């Protein structure tokens, strides 16, 4: 496979609202990000994926865009944005923009026009249907609860919204929509950005009348066209958000021969702690064997054919240390263990803000303390369906999106140094112990472990391009694998539990050194090793 710069890059996702507030209005902003570029440089990342900063009424915190070529007032101005791109570029950091083109805000001028009349020139920019027997055209459901169809009195038709009713879906069957989107993408590419993260891109080929939403028949045709008309002749990173992707589907998107995207986010691993066929709120404990099987499948099936993205976290997911680690007694050990096993696989790692200091899930008392539209809608929907308050809150504590969205914890000072105003969402009260200032000072912190993992990726091509072999597939406690490239081999052995365990090697290794661990002294002898809770060891073997 042809080598690409993003094969060896590490991406850091910023959720601007919660990153750093420079003007004390309680909301993070672009100048706040500029202030923190040196921090990101110290961590060693190469790319920032910036969650949406465009003009938006914020029904879904910027994922409802009312002007793609303007900046949200609370975040700053286009001059600030240009400065962010150029100052980041000067430091060797590329900015990847979030491309949200499955839907717009209902305040986008196209939709304002579209809803005016059936013969408005913008009518066909969105998906409008007549009622069927005085009701919704069909049973399509919104991801944010309830029907995906909203009735509009003005013209007596329903419009489609797969997310909130303030996020009407664009009609990709209309070629004019393609043209508008491509012009907008070129506007951003001309500014020197490093690429696009594409929001729910698997939905743009939908066929609403057949109730097909993901992976519609024309999806790949649209992406090839988008590639040809926009980023195809720029050396950029593109990553699609594709919830239902299997390795087969991922290869359609990211086989370099097909000229679509660099890679996709697949969510198979992330869905393993929900009951089969149910919603993410319907919890079940993770089985480590399932997790290993999923990674094994993706690592081996994409090798040499397409490219993996590697992530535990984003702005929609709970904090990994609370989810599959231990955010109490073994917070540091488990956060480092999880980082180690993820970062040393093949693919481009993504770090979500705060993950690098081991930020944890939050537990607010009341539903009104939560901001997230998905969480609030689900709460009211489930209350009306007879679920108990306690049961719903447990789901929110485990899976709610605000777990990821509490402001970044920079220091132990008021509001964690995020703002001296009133933060738009309360901080996690643990900011006094868990914060950036403390993490930088402490050489054994989670932060410095992430920094070393990033350094290792730059140093060892085996991490970027080596083959992958899962070891001890049936071990219920240990996550272990090897990577191999020419005369270099790495062995990664990790205890995924809070109990001690042992691990038996099946091969003999002569020349082994330890590259990285999360405990002070770990065993070098490679026959049988005793692993402490969440212990992770990376061995380098000379072949
Ligand atoms: C996926 C985004 O990651 C999420 O935050 C958003 O709510 C939906 N797409 C709708 O844009």
Would the CB of 59 count as within 6 Å of ligand 1? no
Distances (CA, A) of 103 to 21, 31, 39: 28, 28, 34
> pLDDT digits over 155-210, tens only?
999 999 999 999 999 999 999 999 999 999 999 999 999 999 999 999 999 999 99
> Which atom, in ligand 1's list, is nearest to the CA of 401?
5
CB-based contacts of 219, cutoff 8 Å, min separation 6: 202, 204, 205
Higher pLDDT, 323 or 512: 323
Alpha helices in 262-388 (DSSP H): 288-302, 320-323, 331-343, 373-384
Assess whether 241 carries a catalytic annotation.
yes
CA distances from 99 to 62, 65, 412 (A): 11, 10, 35
Q: What is the number of the ligand 1 atom nearest to the C-alpha of 63?
A: 11
Q: Is 144 in the pocket of ligand 1 (CB under 6 A)?
A: no
Q: Active-site residue 64, yes or no?
A: no
Expressed in angstroms and rounded, the spacing between residue 61 Cα and the centre of ligand 1 is 9
Nearest CA to ligand 1 atom 6: 63
> Does residue 522 register a pLDDT over 90?
no
Give yes or no for residue 371 CB within 6 A of ligand 1: no
**What pLDDT, on the 0 to 100 scale, is given for residue 543?**
85
Ligand 1 site, residue 201, Cβ cutoff 6 A: no
Ligand 1 centre from 380 Cα, in Å? 20
**Could you give phi then psi for residue 160, rounded to 5 degrees?**
-90, 135
Contact between residue 355 and residue 312 where contact means Cβ atoms under 8 Å apart: yes
In sequence order, what are the beta bridge partners of 97? 50, 196
Ligand 1 centroid to Cα of residue 198, in Å, is 10
Contact 535, 340 (CB under 8 A): no
Between 506 and 91, the higher pLDDT residue: 91
Catalytic residue among 59, 241, 327, 438: 241
Confidence band, pLDDT 50/70/90 cuts, at residue 147: very high
Gap from CA of 363 to ligand 1 centroid (Å): 22
Beta carbon of 15 within 6 Å of any ligand 1 atom = no
- pLDDT tens-place string over residues 281-310: 999 999 999 999 999 999 999 999 999 999
Q: How far is the CA of 172 from the centre of ligand 1 (A)?
A: 18
Predicted confidence (pLDDT) per residue in 318-333, tens digit: 999 999 999 999 999 9
- Judge if the beta carbon of residue 505 lies within 6 A of ligand 1: no
From the candidates 80, 98, 169, 199, which is the catalytic residue? 199
Res 129: pLDDT? 98
Q: What is the pLDDT of residues 82-127, one digit of tens each?
A: 999 999 999 999 999 999 999 999 999 999 999 999 999 999 999 9
Mean pLDDT of 507-528: 85
61: left (phi over 0), alpha (psi -120 to 50) or beta: left
CB 47 within 8 A of CB 64: no
Six-digit token string for 490 = 């790495």
pLDDT confidence band for 509 (50 / 70 / 90): confident
Contact 358, 446 (CB under 8 A): yes
Across the range 479-504, mean pLDDT stands at 97
Task: Place 511 in a pLDDT band, splitting at 50, 70 and 90.
Answer: confident
Following DSSP, what letter does each residue of 175-233 receive, concatenated?
HHHHHHHHHHHHHHHTTT--EEEETTGGGTT-BGGGTB-TT-TTHHHHHHHHHHHTGGG
Question: For residues 513 and 254, what is the distance between their CA atoms, to the nearest angstrom?
Answer: 36
Calculate what percentage of the chain has a pLDDT beyond 90.
96
Q: Is 72 in the pocket of ligand 1 (CB under 6 A)?
A: no
> What distance in angstroms lies between residue 63's CA and the mean position of ligand 1's atoms?
6
Q: Render pLDDT for 466-476 as a digit per residue (tens, 0 to 9).
A: 999 999 999 99
Strand partners, 348: 309
Mutate to test the pocket of ligand 1, among 14, 100, 239, 378 (most ligand atoms within 8 A of CB): 100
Q: In angstroms, rounded to a whole number, what is the distance separating the alpha carbons of residues 236 and 89? A: 13
pLDDT > 90? residue 408: yes
What mean pLDDT do residues 240-244 have? 96
- Predicted local confidence at residue 154, as pLDDT: 95
Q: Measuring CA to CA, which residue among 298, 310, 346, 321 is closest to residue 457?
A: 346
Helices 247-254, 219-229: crossing angle, 10 deg rounding: 30
* 333 ligand 1 Cβ < 6 A: no
What is the CA(168)–ligand 1 centre distance, in A?
13
DSSP state of 35: H
How many Cβ atoms sit within 10 Å of the Cβ of residue 520? 6
Tell if the pTM clears 0.85, that is, is over it. Answer: yes
- Ligand 1 pocket: which of 57, 60, 202 to mutate (most atoms within 8 A of CB): 60
pLDDT of residue 542: 87
Across 366-388, average pLDDT: 97
Looking at residue 330, the DSSP 8-state letter turns out to be T
Of all protein residues, the one whose alpha carbon is nearest to atom 8 of ligand 1 is 63
Report whether pLDDT(498) > 80: yes
Cα separation of 137 and 111, whole Å? 20
Gap from CA of 13 to ligand 1 centroid (Å): 14
Question: Ligand 1 pocket: which of 63, 106, 402 to mutate (most atoms <8 Å of CB)?
Answer: 63
pLDDT of residue 524: 73
């Amino acid at each position: 496979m042809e080598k690409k710069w993003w094969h060896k890059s590490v991406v850091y996702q910023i959720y601007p609202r919660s990153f750093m507030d420079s003007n004390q209005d309680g909301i993070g902003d672009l100048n706040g990000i500029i202030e923190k570029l040196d921090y990101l440089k110290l961590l060693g990342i190469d790319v920032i994926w910036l969650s949406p900063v465009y003009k938006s009424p914020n029904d879904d915190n910027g994922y409802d865009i009312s002007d793609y070529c303007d900046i949200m007032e609370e975040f700053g101005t286009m001059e600030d944005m240009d400065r962010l791109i150029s100052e980041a570029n000067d430091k060797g950091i590329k900015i990847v923009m979030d491309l949200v083109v499955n839907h717009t805000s209902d305040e986008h001028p196209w939709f304002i026009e579209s809803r005016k009349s059936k013969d408005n020139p913008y009518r066909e920019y969105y998906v409008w249907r007549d009622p069927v027997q005085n009701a919704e055209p069909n049973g399509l459901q919104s991801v944010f609860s309830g029907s995906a169809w909203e009735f509009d009195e003005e013209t007596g038709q329903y419009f489609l919204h797969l997310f909130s009713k303030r996020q009407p879906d664009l009609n990709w069957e209309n070629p004019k929509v393609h043209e508008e989107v491509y012009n907008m993408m070129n506007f951003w590419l001309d500014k020197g950005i490093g690429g696009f993260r594409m929001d729910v891109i698997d939905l743009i080929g939908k066929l609403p009348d057949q109730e097909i939403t993901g992976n519609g028949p024309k999806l790949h045709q649209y992406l090839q066209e988008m590639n040809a008309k926009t980023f195809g002749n720029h050396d950029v990173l593109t990553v699609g958000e594709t919830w239902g992707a299997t390795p087969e589907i991922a290869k359609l998107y990211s086989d370099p021969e097909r000229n679509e995207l660099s890679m996709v986010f697949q969510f198979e691993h992330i869905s393993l702690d929900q009951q089969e066929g149910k919603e993410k709120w319907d919890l079940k404990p993770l089985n480590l064997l399932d997790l290993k099987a999923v990674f094994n499948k993706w690592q081996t099936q994409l090798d040499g054919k397409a490219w993996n993205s590697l992530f535990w976290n984003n702005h929609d997911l709970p904090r990994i240390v609370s989810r599959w680690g231990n955010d109490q007694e073994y917070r540091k050990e488990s956060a480092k263990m999880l980082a180690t096993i993820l970062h040393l696989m093949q693919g481009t790692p993504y770090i979500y803000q705060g993950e690098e200091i081991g930020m944890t899930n939050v537990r607010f008392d009341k539903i009104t303390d939560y901001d997230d539209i998905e969480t609030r809608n689900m709460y009211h929907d489930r209350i009306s369906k007879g679920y108990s308050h306690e049961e719903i809150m447990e789901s929110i504590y485990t899976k709610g999106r605000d777990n990821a969205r509490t402001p970044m914890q920079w220091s132990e000072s008021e509001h964690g140094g995020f703002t001296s105003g009133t933060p738009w969402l309360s901080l996690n009260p643990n900011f006094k112990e868990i914060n950036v200032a403390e993490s930088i000072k402490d050489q054994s912190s989670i932060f410095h472990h992430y920094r070393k993992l990033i350094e290792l990726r730059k140093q060892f091509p085996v991490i970027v391009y080596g083959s992958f072999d899962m070891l001890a597939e049936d071990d219920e406690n240990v996550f272990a694998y090897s990577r191999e490239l020419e005369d270099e081999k790495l062995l990664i052995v990790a205890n995924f539990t809070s109990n001690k365990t042992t691990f038996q090697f099946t091969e003999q290794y002569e020349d082994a050194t330890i590259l990285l661990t999360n405990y002070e002294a770990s065993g070098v002898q490679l026959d049988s090793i005793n692993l402490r809770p969440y212990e992770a060891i990376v061995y380098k073997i000379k072949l």
